[in-house]
Structure 1
Amino acid sequence: MKNLQCIIADDEPIARQILENYIQAIPNLEIIASCKNAFEVLEILQTKTVDILFLDINMPKLSGLSLLKTIQQKPSVIITTAYPEYAIEGFELSVTDYLLKPFSLERFLQAVNKVPQKEVSKPETTTITKQEIPLSIFVKSDKKIIKIDFDQINHIEAYGNYIKIFTDTMILTPQTLTEFLEKLPNHFIRIHKSCIINFNQLKLIDGNQVVLQNNTKLQIGKSYRKSVLDSI
């Protein structure tokens, strides 16, 4: 899995430092430039392949949104700003996410997880290709950022305002089951209001239970039984 090449664009030194710290905390992100204005960004984009642009809106001479309107081949763009009123215009320009300062590492991670992870950079071509499907996800657990490959996940269980992710170990992370399901590929299905399974790990269905490849037995919720059987 290649690292995602990142550019920071913000005229505030403290804001750039915060983003640099967040990026350095995530193993598959790599900073290739930290820019003070939009013109430095344009210069970088002419010579380097960029996967993610972390872009402030209120910059001198040329604003972040004005910059986006001039870029033909855009990387994934994550807006970082203190101004909520530009959100609609930002999403009209197809930004990946819109972060309002100050934002936490957890919220930053949620935005990064929306960027498709790639084995190789996308080639310039007029051929329509399928969107790259992410192979892994990063989650926050006990002040750590942990990378989890989707094919290593057996199942996920709700635990209050947290979820338990079961691989060969158990990882506890602060988010809801519904929020996490939205980030998962299609082969993850909900079998109960408090449980999601990796369908690729399904071994058999025994009455109202599923049995996974590691022999874990999990209850199928009554309202989910039909959707589980339809997935077979």
Structure 2
Amino acid sequence: MKVLQCIIADDEPIARQILENYMESIPNLALVSSCKNAFEVMEVLQDKPIDLLFLDINMPKLTGLSLLKTLQQKPSVIITTAYPEYAVEGFELSVTDYLLKPFSFERFLQAVNKVQQKPNLAINPISEDKEEVNKSIFVKSDKKIIKLDYDAITHIEAYGNYIKIYAENKVLAPQTLSDFLLKLPDNFLRIHKSYAINFDQLKLIDGNQVVLQNDSKLPIGKSYRKAVLDRI
């Protein structure tokens, strides 16, 4: 997976430190510069190819949103702010996500996953490298951050406010099945209120259940059966 070259832009030292600490837990995020204002960001963007910008809104002299309006080509942007009222304007400027301070590591990771799932990451004009299509996802499990290849995931099971992800090893993650499916590519399909499968792993349909390539058998919910059959 491509290592994303990142900038942090925030005039508050504590806010920058929190982001830096979060980034250290994600192996494919590389911090290029931690900036105190928009002008420092502009200098970095002129000199180096940047994939992802963590951007505060309320900065001195030039706000984060004003900075975005000046950029003809910009990297993927995740807004980090204490002000919810600018969310609509932020999304009109094509930001990937909008994080309200204080935000948890889980919420931060969710935003980063959105960037990783974009078919083509925004490229600074200095960079001529082709971007790789993302083929994996990072998942928090206990105190670890685990990288899972999409192809290795056979199915996902709802487990209260957790999910069990079945791959080479079973991973228990603190999120709902519905939320997790939003982060996955289209070949993942919900077949039951408690199960979703990697459709590429489907071996056969036997009555009201699917059989996967590893011979796992899972039920098809009545309300999901049409969607399953439509995919065949």
TM range (shorter): over 0.9
Structure 1 residues 119 and 87 mapped into 2: Cα distance closer, same or farther (>3 Å)?
closer
Alpha-carbon deviation of 1:139?
1.3
Unaligned runs of 5+ in 2: 126-130
Q: Is the 8 A contact 1:11 1:37 kept in 2?
A: yes
Q: In structure 2, what is the equivalent of residue 128 of structure 1?
A: none
Residues 123 and 58 of structure 1, relative CA distance in 2, 3 Å threshold = closer
Give the match for residue 193 of structure 2.
193
Is the CA contact 2:73–2:124 (under 8 Å) kept in the aligned structure 1?
A: no
Q: Which residue of 1 aligns with 2:19?
A: 19
* 8 Å contact kept, 1:118–1:132: no
Residue 138 of structure 1 is matched in structure 2 by 138
AA aligned to 2:176 is T
Contact 1:113 1:138 in 2 (8 A): yes
Q: Which residue of 2 aligns with 1:169?
A: 169
Deviations 1:27-69 (A, max 9, x none): 1111011111110100000111111100011111111111111
Q: How does 1:41-190 map to 2 (within 5 A)?
A: 41-116=41-116, 133-190=133-190
Query: Which whole-Å deviations, capped at 9, do the CAs of 1:109-158 have from their partners, x for residues lacking one?
Result: 01111103589976689xxxxx9753111111102211111111000000
Q: Is the 8 A contact 2:51 2:76 kept in 1?
A: yes
RMSD: 2.0
Task: Work out the CA distance in 1 between the residues paired with 2:224 and 2:207.
Answer: 13
Q: TM-score, normalised by structure 1?
A: 0.92
Structure 2 length-normalised TM: 0.92
Off by >4 Å, runs of 4+ in structure 1: 117-125
CA distance in structure 1 between the aligned counterparts of 2:148 and 2:88, rounded to whole angstroms:
32
Residues 182/169 of structure 1: CA separation in 2 closer, same or farther (3 Å cut): same
The question of whether the paired residues in 2 share the 8 Å contact of 1:139 and 1:146 is answered with: yes
